[in-house]
Amino acid sequence: MSRWMALDVGSKTIGIALTDPLNITVRPLTTLSRKTVQKDTEHIVSMVQDHEVEKMIVGMPRYLDGTRSDILDVIEPLVIILRDTLEIPVEWADESLSTKHAERIMAQVGVPISQRRNKRNEFSAAVILQWYLEESKPT
């Protein structure tokens, strides 16, 4: 069995999280600084190969009323290229309030306040991935 990866894509950074090989647990992996769509794609594709990822989940930002967030204009070009480049499913998942949830988790696990801003996106990606896993479990 292979891992799933989640991306929390912003205008300046991309938070990345991974599941374990059995898709039971989730962990924040890293935060990339955005360069160009092409360089971002190359880095993500390399990580997908290195970690034997079989599915990618991308957080879809929406306003609390459910309407499309303006940041999607920045995220969609990357997602389109990833879908064209990767031979794995690339799916959208709701990321509403994931950053607030990630902040609480970082506080609970003792991430120093000085490091929270730098780790916010990778923890948000982990939250998105955890929620996706929970929704995907058979009932």
Rounded CA gap, 58 and 79, in Å? 8
Query: Which pTM was predicted?
Result: 0.88
pLDDT in the model for residue 67: 85
Using the CB atoms, write b or e for 3-21: b if 16+ within 10 Å.
bbbbbbbbeebbbbbbbee
pLDDT in the model for residue 1: 62
Token pair recorded at residue 5 = 């990866």
Going by their DSSP bridges, the two strands 3-9 and 53-60 should be labelled as parallel
Rounded CA gap, 127 and 31, in Å? 14
Is residue 23 within 8 A of residue 1, CB to CB? The reply is yes
For the chain, give the DSSP string.
--EEEEEEE-SSEEEEEEE-TTS--EEEEEEEEP--HHHHHHHHHHHHHHTTEEEEEEEE-B-TTSPBPTTHHHHHHHHHHHHHH-SS-EEEEE-TTHHHHHHHHHHHTT--HHHHHHHHHHHHHHHHHHHHHHHHS--
pLDDT in the model for residue 28: 95
Rounded CA gap, 131 and 57, in Å? 11
| Residue numbers in the chain where pLDDT is lower than 50 | none
Please tell us whether the domain made up of 3-136 is placed in CATH 3.40.50.700: no
